[in-house]
Amino acid sequence: MELRQLRYFVTLSEELHFGRAAAREHIVQSALSQQIQRLERELGVRLLDRSTHHVDLTAAGAAFLVEARQILTQVGRATHAARNAAAAPPTLRVGIVDAGYDSMPQVLREVQRQHPELTIHQIEASTPEQYRQLADGRLDIGIGRSSQTPSGVTSELIRLDPLGVLVPDDHPFAALDGVAVAALAGELLLMGEDAETPEFNQFVVELCRTAGFSPTVYEGTVESSRAAADLVLQHRCVLCVPSSFRTSNRPGTTWRPVVEPATSYPWSLLWRTGKPSAYVGAVLDSARDLAGRLGWLETADERDGGSATRTPATSAVNLPEGP
């Protein structure tokens, strides 16, 4: 059965005249008659009662007409959708943990420079939520700490982001070159909600435990990086954040790296397992290029020329990735 046969049958059912139906379809009358006969043979039923001067639908023809119209309507919608998709600009849906971190924005600026035709949508979501959205197709690529990457998602480390603390300019830590992890035992640490930043909270807790204490966490949550910086400025807590967090440039605050041991937070790109699309590939290529040019994958020893002080158990990259 061919779509043109369905179309010819619907036209003939509307005209009930072979000559007029053939004219509408821009074919000769004999060709129209042959196609209708082939359709009837394939179905094994008569669709039309014909006489010299009259054409009528049979009961089978009337029933077939309803379904044939629906099929042609659906084909028309599918054609329209395909043409619209082909005409629409390409889009890329990118997951980000927080707009305050600058790793992905730097990568996307490079991608946009190379592909100005691309429309990029940034979607803020925790790493576990990014996994879910990658799995069901709502995201094309994401970024986060790949501590518990599920099957079906591939990750690639792109940045070892030095961890530090954000404090007011007049805080004692501000006068130091680096803040020992053990010194954080006497501070209230501001963390994100576990539902939103579970992997980062886990990372900080694990780091503190390597120094022999469990962190004292500030009771309360904030909805933005600006609100977090406000709490720091009010001397209500200190904020443990990687160097890429833009709040570290907030006037009145100072960011100091964590030392003893010096530690880096691992950022990885996340995408569905399999051959990536062209634009996902462009993100990967841009991230790899930036990592090489900006030294994103250098360890603390390499950044500091081997002078960083650390313990063997907690280097810049070997905090446990799992729970």
The domains of the chain are located at 3-87, 92-303
Which two structure tokens, joined as six digits, stand for 29?
């009358």
Q: Please state the rounded mean pLDDT for residues 26-33.
A: 92
pLDDT of residue 305: 62
Three-state DSSP class for 217? Answer: strand
The rounded distance, in Å, linking the Cα atoms of 7 and 12 is: 9
Average pLDDT, the chain: 87
Residue 247's pLDDT is: 67
Check residue 107 and give its pLDDT.
96
* More confident site: 103 or 250: 103
Higher pLDDT, 194 or 249: 194
Which amino acid belongs to residue 220?
A: G
* pLDDT for 195: 78
Place of tokens 């982001």: 161
Residue 138 has pLDDT above 90, yes or no: yes
pLDDT of 321 strictly over 50: no
Q: Round to whole Å and give the CA distance between 229 and 252.
A: 9
Q: What is the pLDDT of residue 304?
A: 64
pLDDT bracket for residue 311 (50, 70, 90): very low
Greatest Cα pair distance in the chain: 104
pLDDT band at 148 (very low <50, low <70, confident <90, very high): confident
Taking the C-alpha atoms of residue 278 and residue 270, their distance in angstroms, rounded to an integer, is: 15
Residue 76 CB partners (closer than 8 Å, separation 6+): none
CATH number of 3-87: 1.10.10.10
**pLDDT value, residue 226:** 76
Q: pLDDT tens-digit profile of 46-88?
A: 999 987 678 899 999 999 999 999 999 999 999 888 887 776 6
Does pTM top 0.85 for this prediction?
A: no
H or E segment and range at residue 135: helix 127-135
Query: Which residues are CB-neighbours of 1 under 8 A, at least 6 positions away?
Result: 39, 42, 43
Residue pair 161/187 in contact by the 8 Å Cβ criterion: no
Contact between 207 and 319 under an 8 Å Cβ cutoff? The reply is: yes
Q: pLDDT confidence of 315, banded at 50, 70, 90?
A: very low
**Which pLDDT score is estimated for 307?**
42
pLDDT of residue 248: 65
- Stretch 216-241: mean pLDDT, rounded? 85
Distance in angstroms (rounded) separating the CA atoms of residues 35 and 4: 9
Q: What integer pLDDT is reported at residue 303 of this predicted model?
A: 67
Mean pLDDT of 254-268: 94
The tokens for 187 are 């501070």
Average pLDDT of the segment spanning 281-286: 97
Is the backbone of residue 118 left (phi > 0), alpha (psi -120 to 50) or beta? Answer: beta
- Is the omega angle on the peptide bond into residue 168 within 30 degrees of 0, that is, cis? no
Q: Which of 195, 205, 193, 201 lies closest to 128, judged by CA?
A: 195
Query: How far is 207 from 201, CA to CA, in rounded Å?
Result: 10
* pLDDT band per the 50, 70, 90 thresholds, residue 196: confident
Q: What is the pLDDT of residue 147?
A: 82
For range 180-188, the mean pLDDT:
95
Higher local confidence (pLDDT), 13 or 319 = 13
Query: Residue 242: beta bridge partners?
Result: 163
**Are 16 and 55 spatial neighbours (Cβ–Cβ below 8 Å)?**
yes
pLDDT digits (tens, 9 = 90+) for 1-24: 889 999 999 999 998 888 898 999
Both tokens of residue 322?
Answer: 């799992």
pLDDT at residue 198, as a whole number: 87
Percent of the chain clearing pLDDT 90 (strictly above): 67
Fold of 92-303: D-Maltodextrin-Binding Protein; domain 2 (3.40.190)
**221/194 Cα distance (integer angstroms):** 10
Model pLDDT, residue 320? 38
Q: Does the pLDDT at position 313 exceed 90?
A: no
Coil/strand/helix, residue 180: strand
* Element housing 158 (H / E): strand 153-168
Sign for the pseudo-dihedral over CA of 102, 105, 107, 110: negative
pLDDT at 169: 94
Q: What is the mean pLDDT of residues 183-196?
A: 88
Q: Compute and round to an integer the Cα radius of gyration of the chain.
A: 32
169: tokens are 């300019």
The encoded tokens of residue 176 equal: 């130091």
* The predicted structure's pLDDT at residue 194: 79
Dist. CA 295–CA 275, nearest whole Å: 27
Q: Return the closest-CA partner of residue 241 out of 252, 251, 253, 269.
A: 253
